[in-house]
Structure 1
Amino acid sequence: MAVVLVADWEAILTNFLDLEVAAETFPAIITTAAKNTVLYTVIAFAGGLILGLILALMKLSPVAPYRWVSTIYIETFRGLPALLVIFGFAFAAPIAFSWSPPGGSVGAGLLALIIVSAAYIAETIRAGIQAVPKGQVEAARSLGMRPSWTMVSIVLPQAFRIVTPPLTNELVIVIKDTSLLFIAGMLLGERELTTFARDLVSQTANSTPLVLAALLYLVITLPLTRLVARLERHNQRSR
């Protein structure tokens, strides 16, 4: 309460809550920045989910080289900051290998986010698969089901139900990690929320756009975090 009373509210309103500056951000902050944030999130998470599933199955494979490759990949990209991976794909890899990333610099950044998120998603899915009771696998095999069909029809559906809350948490992380794409460089129509707001701060010498971007991130992420809590309560009741 004392902090609220002693704060310089005139300065706060002028620098962070300027209505004229806020008006200048609309509608582009929604039609361009928020839309791109959601689009980049969907692409990065979907790609990470597909690659993560493959890596999880490789890590649980009886074939040793598959396990080694998967383990090295997961440990490497879980240990590297996403920002450095984006930098590597956007700048270092094109120079080192004369490579033009699909989709330009944004495409390179999204590829980096897919690769990083896949490492975390792989471990989540692996844990979910191993949490499925082994008795169900043994019962399926006793009925003559092939191991591959047992995995697809029995194990994976249950595993995904188990890991839905942590996967939703990973989705929230990907949403926030799209803010790191600024390092790759973007055209005006490609900017996500953070880059859009940062550019407006430079133009207006006012931080109101950053406050609006933060509010929009909350609008996107808070429903997902509430969904995670609800799913966790549902799983606990089911157990």
Structure 2
Amino acid sequence: MDALIAVWETFFDFDAMRVALPDLLTVGLPNTLILAVSSGIVGTVLGMLLAVAGLSRRRWLRWPARVYTDVLRGLPAAVTILLIGVGFAPIGLMVWGPNPYPFGILALGLIAGAYIGEIFRSGIQSVDVGQTEAARAIGFSGGAAMRLVIIPQGVRRVLPALVNQLIALIKDSSLIYFLGLLSSQRELFRIGQDAAANTGNQSALVLAGLFYLVITIPLTHVVNAIDKRLREGRRVDAVDPAEADDFDEEMDSIAGQESVR
């Protein structure tokens, strides 16, 4: 019984949680979201470029994209973060001072780009080739067909996987602590770890883990809802006829412009 009480007090000391809560809310949570969202934007843009380059018929575009993807997916995330964050630290000190966030965001974005690029590439390749032929038949150029027809369909098919990658970024943001953080720069994990190290009690770290769950579990349900909606589709009787007519007119207009070109 004493052992169980000791374990409970080690992980669920509510006084220790209460002490760590303000820093987790006002410092750790905003910093974690900044890291995840910023690196997610970088990774998404880079991933789309890698996907298009990886599908190109030009070797000078295709092979660098594939080599980049293989290397960044093969390296541990901590190694990439340290190589970029520590290796380029002197440049960062001269430009923006002792703030590891820019290089941390860059490193996370580069890692995410390699994974997101493969997600986009698989989505684009899953679109039936007949879609391209149909777009060309109504006057679209090859580039316009890819940009306006193929890529939107491919992205829609991989939205759940894309959100899953964002969830992974939220968790990987904890690795930024390798670069050394000031008190105001700490994210959720670092605050929980510091409190646990100072008190010898793991309750603050457990509370930090609960914060991660509060962020990631709703996103997981969003992924499931998106996946269900994409698999079931939209009810036909729910489509506004006027909306459908406007869409047809817009597509005819785009096709006409491409034909003129």
Structures share a fold, TM > 0.5? yes
The aligned length equals: 231
Extract unaligned runs of 5+ from structure 1: 1-5
Give the structure 1 partner of residue 162 of structure 2.
167
SS in 1 for 2:100: helix
Say if 2:82 is the partner of 1:87.
yes
Partner of 2:243: none
- Match in the other structure for 2:211: 216
Query: Normalising by the residue count of structure 2, what TM-score does the alignment of the two structures yield?
Result: 0.84
Which residue of the other structure, out of 190, 194, 202, is the alignment partner of 2:197? 202
Q: Secondary structure at the match of 1:160?
A: helix
- 1:124 lines up with 2:119 in the alignment: yes
Residue matched to 2:245: none
How many Å separate the matches in 2 of 1:43 and 1:9?
42
1:44-193 superposed matches below 5 A: 44-94=39-89, 99-100=91-92, 104-193=99-188
1:30-72 deviation per Cα after TM superposition (whole angstroms, max 9, x unaligned): 1110111111100011110000000100001111110011000
Out of 8, 13, 17, the position equivalent to 2:12 is 17
- Code of the residue aligned with 2:91 in structure 1: it is W
Q: Which has more radius of gyration?
A: 2
Structure 2 counterpart of 1:58, which letter?
A
Instruction: Answer whether contact 1:86 1:181 (CA < 8 A) is retained.
Output: yes
Describe the SS at the equivalent of 1:39.
helix
More deviation in 139-148 or 51-60?
Answer: 139-148
Matched with 1:233 is: 228
SS state at 2:91 partner: coil
The answer to whether the Cα contact below 8 Å between 1:106 and 1:185 also exists between their aligned partners in 2 is: no
- RMSD between aligned alpha carbons? 1.8
Q: Distance in 2 between matches of 1:197 and 1:86?
A: 21
Which amino acid is the alignment partner of residue 143 of structure 1? Answer: I
- In structure 2, runs of 5+ residues without a counterpart are 235-261
* CA distance in structure 1 between the partners assigned to 2:77 and 2:163 by the alignment: 19
> What's the CA shift for 1:180?
0.6
The 2-side partners of 1:87 and 1:134 are apart by 42
Aligned 8 A contact 2:35 2:101 in 1 = no
Give % identity: 35
Q: In structure 2, the residue corresponding to 1:219 is in which secondary structure?
A: helix
